[in-house]
Structures are given as C-alpha cells and as structure tokens.
Amino acid sequence: MYQETIKRGGIAVVTGSANGVGRVAAIRFAQAGLDVVLADLSGDALNSALQEVRDAATPDAKVIAIPTDVSDAKSVNALADAVFAAGEVAVLMNNAGIARPCSSWAQADNWRQVIEVNLFGVLNCVQAFLPRMTEANRPAVVINTGSKQGFTNPPGNAGYNTSKAAVKTMSEMLVHELRIAEAPISVHLFVPGFTYTNMIASFMPEKPAAAWTSEQTVDYFLERMAAGDFYVLCPDNEVNPERDRRRLEWSMQDVILNRPALSRWHPDFKEEFHEFENLTEGSN
C-alpha cells in the first residue's frame, strides 16, 4: 500500500515531527515527493525541523508546519481541517509522545499527561482524519508509533507502558475495522528499538553504542512497511529480531503458563529466562 500511496502523491501528516524519528520520517516523506505537514508544539524545534524538511524535499513538494497540541481534540480537528483544505492525505503518522515518571500509586498528574498525549493524542488524530480518509477511498497509510514497553511491560514506568500498550490495541482494532470497511488504507505499528533521540540525549550526552540513530530506525521501518508488515519492531545494536521474539514469547507464556506477572524480572525466574532468551533460533 505504501508504494501505491507514494505513486499517487498527497500529503504526509507527521505529529511529533519537531525532533527524533518524527523529524526523520518527515524528511523521508518529503524526499519521496509527498507534501508534508509537520505537527508539533510551536517553538524553535518545530521551526528548525520545518527548514530541514524543506531543504530535503523534492522541488515540487510543499512543506508546512502547523503548531498542534495532539492532546487537545479541538487543536487536532483544526489541523485536520487545514490539511484536507490543502489536499488528500496519503500518510497519517501519529508519532507524538512524551515520557514522565509514573509509578502505579503515585504521580497522578504525570499519568494524565502521558495518557492524554500518548493515547488520546493518537485517538484524536484517528477520529479527526479517518472519516475523511475512508470517504476519499484512496490508497493511504496510517502509522502509529508504539513502544516495546507496550508489549513486554518492563518495570520502571507504569504510565508510559500502559499508554503504549493501549496504542498497540487501538492499532490492531483499527486494522480490523478498516478491513471490514474495505477501505484501501493500511495501518502499521512502528515500534522503535533503543534509538538515540533528543529525549535520550537530555540525560545521555553521547550516543550509547547499543543505540541506533533515528535515521537507522526510520529507514528500517519504511523498508518493513513497504513489505506490508503491520508489526514493525525495530532492532538496535544490542537487540536483534530474534531476541525481540524471545522476549515477546516469554511475556505471552506468563499468561499461558500462569507464571507470576512480569516473571522476566522475578528473581525466581531469572536464570530460566536468561537461558530461554539466549537459545539459538529453532533450538527449542
């Protein structure tokens, strides 16, 4: 579907495009010849991204920035109105996200902020754009940025994990509903690995050896999206696809085998998980 979308042209809308993978994705869409709308909070980062994407765009591509707060449905509806007034939507990339410290029984305000941006930000965009995208009945793609933390739930940030687990479920339901509606729109769940972004740079001034760059992560995703993958779990320099599969399999077995929740981090299962994770492919 992505290749058909590129051939037909149109507008790529990227939320959270001022920095990181959103900024790189906007560059790639502009390089492919799509018009691009960068949607993010107003400020120097958005202005800088706008100039960089314009510099990378093909001669005919139009690139604009529309300051948008994805947690505010009115702001997102205004974004959608402006985009559809300008043309047809080819790509909707719901990428905006934040991280705040969140424990299960504290930091309620942080919880609300994270859920409003990471979950309702995606929902607001889907509800503002999809009715008109389905009505247009043209090839298009929807990209929702998730997280491996929404699959395996590593301890440390209950609110962020919850928000990204919800994005995963929402994306799966969207695929099904579009299939039933026979809409020519594909959906893809973009799941970066350890990626060195501005968020990481704020507490790690130098890129860790294990991390991929935003460019590596986006290029891997675009390759897999073009191949038709829905789930795109991106590797990095430390975690390859086989290790990701092992971790996912172990997490699902917690349910199937009725082990303690998050047994991967339970001291009674530490050695068993280590052996399981390091099995070579096909050895079990």
Which pLDDT tens digit goes with each residue over 220-252? 999 999 999 999 999 999 999 999 999 999 999
Q: What is the pTM of this model?
A: 0.94
User: Exposure of 180 by Cβ count < 10 A (0-12 exposed, 13-18 middle, 19+ buried)?
Assistant: exposed
231 is catalytic: no
User: Which amino acid, one-letter code, is at 240?
Assistant: N
The domains of the chain, with CATH numbers, are: 2-239 (3.40.50.720), 240-284 (no CATH)
Separation between Cα atoms, residue 64 and residue 162, nearest integer Å: 33
Which pLDDT tens digit goes with each residue over 23-58? 999 999 999 999 999 999 999 999 999 999 999 999
The pLDDT of 148-159, averaged and rounded, is: 96
Neighbours of 261 (CB within 10 A): 11
Q: Which of 160, 196, 220, 231 is catalytic?
A: 160
Q: Distance of alpha carbon 18 from its chain centroid, rounded?
A: 14
- Contact indicator for 58, 9 with CB cutoff of 8 Å: no
Which pLDDT tens digit goes with each residue over 119-133? 999 999 999 999 999
208 φ/ψ angles, rounded to the nearest 5 degrees: -65, 150
Say what percent of the chain tops pLDDT 90.
Answer: 90
Tokens of 265: 């981090």
**What is the residue whose two structure tokens read 């995606």?**
122
217 φ/ψ angles, rounded to the nearest 5 degrees: -65, -45
